Amino acid sequence: MPLQIEEDHQRFRNIVRGKIRKDLRKFLSRGELLGREGKKYVSIPVHGIETPHFRYGDNNDAGVGSGEGKPGDKVGDDGEGMGPGGTQEGQHILEVDITLEELADILGEELELPRIEPKGKHNISSVKDRYSGIRPTGPESLRHFKRTFRRALRRQIMAGTYNPDSPRIIFERGDKVYRSWKTIKAPQSNAVIIYMMDVSGSMGDEQKELVRLEAFWIDAWLRRNYEGIESRFIVHDVRAGEVDRETFFHIREDGGTRISSAYRLAHELIDQNYNPEEWNIYLFHFSDGDNSSESDSRECCRLIKEQLVPGINMFGYCQVASAYGSGNFINSVHEHLGDDEAVITSRVNTKDDIYESIKTFFSPGR
C-alpha cells in the first residue's frame, strides 16, 4: 500500500520543481548555485515556498546557553548555546536539496533539450569495495574499536568484573568485531569532456566567472545523459598544459594567445586515452577570441576539421566578450567550419546569455 504521505511529498516536489523552472533563467545567470554542490545534491534557494507568519524580527537575537565561558566569549566555542527552538532560523528563503540529475532534468525540460543518444558500448561496469558492515571475524587492522569496547564493557558489567574505580576494560575473543565490506558495481564512464580555456592576459576574472557558470551547466546536462563521465582540463596562452579542475578555474596567466597549442594537446589526449569507438567525446573551448595571428586561426580550423572532429560528438566553441582584442576567432571558425554539424559556437557577453548558449550547444542532441 502506498503511503499517503507519498502524495503530499510528490506535491511538494512538484511545487519545488515548478519554482525552480520558473527561476531557472535566474539560476543560470547567477553564481548562486556554484559552491552549493555537495556530492550528489545541490542546495537551491527556493523563494516563496515558506509559509509566512507574523513573527519577531532579527532584533530578537538573544537566548540562553549553558556551559563555560566568560562575558564576550563566542557562543559555541566554550559553551553550548541554547536558543529558543525554532524561532531563530533567521533565514527567509527555504533551501531545498535536489539531486544534480533532477536539476538537469528541469534544465532539459525548460530548454527543451533532446536526450543524447550515446554511442559506443553501453556502461561497462567496474567493481568497488565499500565498508558498510560488521562481522565477528577479520584482520586486527579492521577491528571496530568502539563496538568492541562496548561489547567488552557490557560483558564485564554483566559478569560483575567491572570496577568503576579502576575502569579497566580487557577485550576477549568474543568481544571483537570487525568492519566488513560489500562489493558494489560502479558504472564506468564512457564519456569525456575536455575543457579548454584561454588564460591569456585579456581573460579577466569576469570572463572566468562566465566560463565557470557555463561549464557548470554543461557538466550538469552531460552528466544527466551519461552514466559516468570524465573531465579533463587544458589551459593555454601561447603554450598549452593540462591542469586539474581547481587550477583551471583559478589560474591567472599573462601573455599572448596561440589557440592551436590547446587543440594539439587535446588531440594528443584523445589519441592516447580515448578511443572514439568507445568514448563519447566532448570538447569545449572558452576564449575571448583574440588569437595572435590570422595564420594560427587558419591552422586551428584545419586542426579541428582534420584531427578533432572525426570521431567526437561535439566541438563547442564559446566566446566570451572581453574589453580587449578583436574577438575575431569566432569569425574564422564560422568561415571555415560553418557547415560542420559537430562544430557549434556561441557568444556569451553577459551572464544572461548563458541560457541561450546552453540551448545552442545541446539543442541538436549530440
Partner 1 sequence: MHRVLPKEIAEQAEIIADHARREGLDFYPTIFEMLSSEEISQVAAYGGFPKRYPHWRFGMQYEKLRKQHKYGLSKIYEMVINNDPCYAYLLSDNMMVDHKTVIAHVYGHCDFFKNNTWFSQTNRKMMDEMANHATRVRRYIDRYGIERVEKLIDTFIALENLIDPHSVFMKRDKPYVKPDPKAKPPDKSRRDEGEFERFPAKSYMDRYINPPERIAQDKAAGEEKAEKTKTSFPDKPVRDVLLFLLKYAPLEDWEADILGIIHKEAYYFAPQGQTKIMNEGWASYWHSTMMTNYILTDAELIDYCEHHSGTLASAPGQLNPYKMGIELLRDIEKRWNTGRYGPEYDRCEDMQERREWGKEKAPKGRVIGKDSPGRQKIYEVRTLYNDVTFLDEFLTPEFVDDQKLFHYRYDPATGKMVVVNRDFKKIKAQLLFMLTNHAQPYIYVLDGNYKNRGELYLGHRHDGADLDIKYAVETLKCLQAAWRRPVHIHALIDGEGILFSYDGEKSTQQRVDDTVPTPANAI
- 2 lies in the site for partner 1, by CB under 8 A: no
Count of residues interacting with partner 1 (CB under 8 A): 56
Within 10 Å of residue 125's Cβ, how many Cβ atoms? 13
Distances in Å between the Cα of 7 and the Cα atoms of 2, 20, 50, 98, 196 are 9, 20, 19, 18, 46
Q: How far is CA 96 from the centre of its chain?
A: 17
- By the rule CB under 8 A, 127 interacts with partner 1: no
Measured from the CB of residue 104, what is the shortest distance to partner 1 in angstroms?
Answer: 20
- Closest approach, Cβ 92 to partner 1, in A, equals 6
- Closer CB to partner 1, 86 or 310, in the complex: 86
Contact between 51 and partner 1 (CB under 8 A)? yes
Binding piece for partner 1, criterion CB under 8 A, among 60-68, 126-134, 222-230, 333-341: 60-68
Residue 307 sits in the site that holds partner 1 (CB under 8 A): no
Q: Which residue of 39, 55, 168, 173 would you call a contact of partner 1, by CB under 8 A?
A: 55
Nearest to 118 by CA among 264, 228, 4: 228
- Beta carbon nearer to partner 1, 2 or 338: 2
| Per-position DSSP letters for 181-233, written without gaps between them | EEEEEEEPP-EEEEEEEE-STT--HHHHHHHHHHHHHHHHHHHHHSSSEEEEE
Residue among 249, 222, 223 at smallest CA distance from 235: 249
- For residue 44, what is the enclosing H or E element? strand 41-46
Q: Count Cα atoms within 13 angstroms, Cβ side, for 42.
A: 19
Identity of the residue, 162 or 216, whose beta carbon is nearer to partner 1 in the bound complex: 162
Told to check if 145 binds partner 1 by CB under 8 A, we report no
| 66 is a site residue for partner 1 (CB under 8 A) | yes
List residues near partner 1 by CB under 8 A: 3-5, 7-13, 15, 49, 51-76, 78-88, 92, 97, 150, 153-154, 157-158
